[in-house]
Amino acid sequence: MKRTILVIGLGLIGGSLAKSIGESDENYIIGYDTNKETLEFALMNEIIHESCSTIADSAQMADIIILGTPITETIKFIKELDQIPFNKDVIVTDVSSVKKPVSNVANGITNKHIKFIGGHPMAGSHKKGIKAAKEHLFENAIYVLTPSDVCTETMINTLKTTLKATKSNFVVLEANDHDEMTGVISHFPHLIASALVHQAKKWQNTHSFIPKLAAGGFRDITRIASSNPELWQDIFYHNSGKVMHLIDDWIMEMNELKQMLEQNNKVKLSSYLNQAKDYRDGLGTTKKGVIPSFYDLYVDIRDQTGAIASVAQLLAHEKISIKNMQILEIREGITGVLRLSVPTIDDQKKSYQVLHNNGYELMLEK
Ligand SMILES: NC(=O)C1=CN([C@@H]2O[C@H](COP(=O)(O)OP(=O)(O)OC[C@H]3O[C@@H](n4cnc5c(N)ncnc54)[C@H](O)[C@@H]3O)[C@@H](O)[C@H]2O)C=CC1
Ligand SMILES: O=C(O)C(=O)Cc1ccc(O)cc1
């Protein structure tokens, strides 16, 4: 039987979900967005089957409602949906990066027909809007579900089945735990990335050469500072308690580091760096997390015409598909590093062998 799914907010995340679940003949997608161009684009490009200009009627037709809006808007929509006189049960889910404020509002729902299951597909991009939406955005990513108490296992399974086309890996978490963990591995690192950029900008006043020196390491660690600022201020606003706690924690960590330097404690500093390296190296063995990663290889290449094509050709010959490619620290005439991402660990091993056998120097991310 066909399921009717209303997607409210067709930006990067809502648009990507509509694209991937809309591929199944079993799903009929109705779209709503306050941005008229977005709605037209979605309809013209068959990302949705139908659009609507208000949500009341479409919500009553829906079996599932997905809120793909910014967190503050999502909270307003939950309250609005609560007022709709549904005549059948409807699963309502969201995609918000912060879960506790959303689940607090959802727990206050009085409408018996609404079955709320919080959701957070943990993959994204620095881009926003429907034009950046991709059906494969969530492939291999973690998709967190935070069901409310009124939800049964059957309802959770219905939602998982509907979202199956995303090819993500579902985990059920408690909202507060989710916010604490994403605070540590996503929200706080974002704040630090932005702070590092501010620090470099400030130092540029006295050292104008700084941007030219900003090479691989700085670019890697600050990549996320180029993400959508509106989205991130909304995330920090809704998870401010946890992020403030992490700032305090960080200040203590920095003070410990400062002390090691003041005391010239080489042994302690070396052990600190080694422990960080071991933990970071170990992260590579897990599946795709918040930061989308496949299985990476770092290949030394010369900055010359055809260098990348030669690597790509060798892998294509072995039928290995390259999911992502990035050039790190390349300067004219000097060896640069090509970061390649391949889908499986076997592809990573095979790529290593074939490139190694062809004289390339390379390293695997374990
Ligand atoms: N960008 C990312 O990497 C990730 C974002 N998220 C979550 O996804 C949600 C959306 O973020 P993005 O898709 O990145 O943002 P976006 O800016 O690409 O999309 C938001 C969409 O919602 C629409 N919208 C805004 N207010 C609305 C309203 N009142 N009614 C109807 N439509 C409205 C906008 O016109 C836009 O099309 C946020 O809650 C965010 O926390 C979750 C995972 C990753
Ligand atoms: O691009 C990255 O590295 C991200 O961290 C994307 C992202 C942004 C927000 C989320 O709630 C989940 C994932």
- Residues with Cβ within 8 Å of residue 8, at least 6 apart in sequence: 14, 32, 33, 55, 65, 66, 67, 68, 69, 77
Q: Which atom of ligand 1 is nearest to the CA of 76?
A: 29
**Residue 210 token pair:** 């700084």
Of ligand 2's listed atoms, the one at least distance from the Cα of 120 is: 11
Name every residue whose Cβ is closer than 8 Å to that of residue 331 and which is 6 or more positions away in sequence. 303
CB of 8 closer than 6 angstroms to any ligand 1 atom? yes
CATH class of 3-173: alpha beta
- The answer to whether the CB of 186 is under 6 A from ligand 2 is yes
**For residue 286, pLDDT beyond 70:** no
| 37-71 b/e (C-beta count within 10 Å ≥ 16 → b) | ebbebbeeeebbbebbeebeebbbebbbbbbbbbb
Residue 28 confidence (pLDDT): 97
Reported as a single tens digit per residue, the pLDDT across 8-65 is 999 999 999 999 999 999 999 999 999 999 999 999 999 999 999 999 999 999 999 9
Residues 33 and 53: their CA atoms lie apart, in Å, by 8
For ligand 1, the distance from its centroid to the CA atom of residue 9, given in whole angstroms, is 6
Long-range contacts of 316-321 (CB under 8 A, 24+ apart): 317/354, 318/350, 318/351, 318/354, 320/347, 320/350, 320/351, 321/347
Higher-scoring residue by pLDDT: 91, 341? 91
pLDDT above 60 for 331: no
The CATH architecture assigned to 295-364 reads 2-Layer Sandwich (3.30)
**For 115-147, how does the pLDDT look when each residue is reduced to its tens digit (9 = 90+)?**
999 999 999 888 999 999 999 999 989 999 999
CB of 239 within 6 A of ligand 2: the answer is no
Q: Mind listing the pLDDT tens digit for each residue in 136-179? A: 999 989 999 999 999 999 999 999 999 999 999 999 999 999 99
Residue ranges of domains in the chain = 3-173, 178-283, 295-364
Instruction: Check pLDDT > 70 for residue 332.
Output: no
Confidence of residue 334 (pLDDT cuts 50, 70, 90): low
Residue 33 pLDDT: 98
**C-beta 290 within 6 A of ligand 2:** yes
Greater confidence (1 vs 308) lies with: 308
Does residue 95's CB lie within 6 angstroms of at least one atom of ligand 1?
A: yes
C-alpha–C-alpha distance, residues 12 and 127, integer Å: 7
**pLDDT band, very low/low/confident/very high, at 292 (cuts 50, 70, 90):** very low
- Tell me the pTM: 0.85
What pairs with residue 305 in β-bridges?
Answer: none
- Class (C level, CATH) for 178-283: mainly alpha
Higher local confidence (pLDDT), 280 or 187: 187
CA of residue 14 to ligand 1 center, whole Å: 7
